[in-house]
Amino acid sequence: MPFEVYAALIVFAVVILASALKILREYERGVIFLLGRFQRVKGPGLIIVVPIIQQIVKVDLRVIVMDVPSQDVISRDNVSVKVNAVVYFRVIDPENAIIQVEDYLAATSQLAQTTLRSVLGQHELDEMLAERDKLNDDVRNILDQQTDAWGIKVANVEIKHVDLDESMIRAIARQAEAERSRRAKVIHAEGEMQAAEKLREAAEILAKEPQAIQLRYMETLTAVAGDKSSTIVFPLPMDLIAPLLKPKPGSGSADS
């Protein structure tokens, strides 16, 4: 047999052997098909795939970070917003990820978009802004249930931005300002009520003890006298000067 034939056979054998040997990394698995039918999942490490008879589809088992494009959402109170999110998921069953769905990445992305619109559309704008953790859990639970048949585990969903138009931002600012004003008025009214209650209690105590009124009056005079003003005008209660206005005993008989 000529040398050229031997050389061609050797090259052909090397090519066949090279195509039959596959090396899968620790985070990779190979879904093996034998004449088009699923055989088993192999890897990681060195595996042998018989050319033509067997085919291999590699699957990455690492966590995939998928950015959900901005979605137009109409809230339950008819406010139009734009919402985008990020989804963290990974393949836990390579067989189902390849066999049960054509492209699990595209399918998960589309499902995440529709689920995000559906869940947020059931809530009002205030809930979108204040209860983001609850909404994240709701979206994650729905995605996890629906992708379970594809061999996918959704680990987390995070809503990144809720974008509003300028008119809505101004309306929210006015609402917040009105709410702060309302709270200030309520606090002021509660303070007035408490002060009135304390004054009423003090008046009741002073009414029971007339001497306490005089002592309080004298304390007030002392405080005013300590001021820097040069002229002090103050009223005299009739309780204090009444004894001075009474006639002395025997003064009338002397005049007569």
Compute CA distances 91 → 25, 30, 42, 62, 136, whole Å: 15, 13, 15, 7, 20
Are 81 and 162 within 8 A, CB to CB?
Answer: yes
The CA distance from 86 to 112, in Å, is 9
User: What are the boundaries of each domain within the chain?
Assistant: 3-60, 64-164
* Domain 64-164, second-level architecture: 2-Layer Sandwich (3.30)
Given this model, what pLDDT does residue 228 score?
A: 61
pLDDT in tens, the chain (256 residues): 676 777 777 887 778 888 889 999 999 999 999 999 999 999 899 999 988 899 999 999 999 999 999 999 988 888 889 999 999 999 999 999 999 999 999 999 999 999 999 999 999 888 888 889 999 999 999 999 999 999 999 999 999 888 887 766 666 667 777 777 888 888 888 888 888 888 788 777 767 766 666 666 666 667 666 656 556 565 656 655 555 555 656 555 444 4
Give yes or no for a cis peptide into 2 (omega within 30° of 0). Answer: no
Given this model, what pLDDT does residue 255 score?
A: 47
Rounded CA Rg of the chain: 44
Largest CA distance in the chain: 174
DSSP result, 35-95: TTEEEEEE-SEEEE--TTTEEEEEEE-SPEEEEEEEEEEE-TTS-EEEEEEEEEEEES-HH
**Which of 180, 58, 78, 184 has its CA nearest to residue 125?**
78
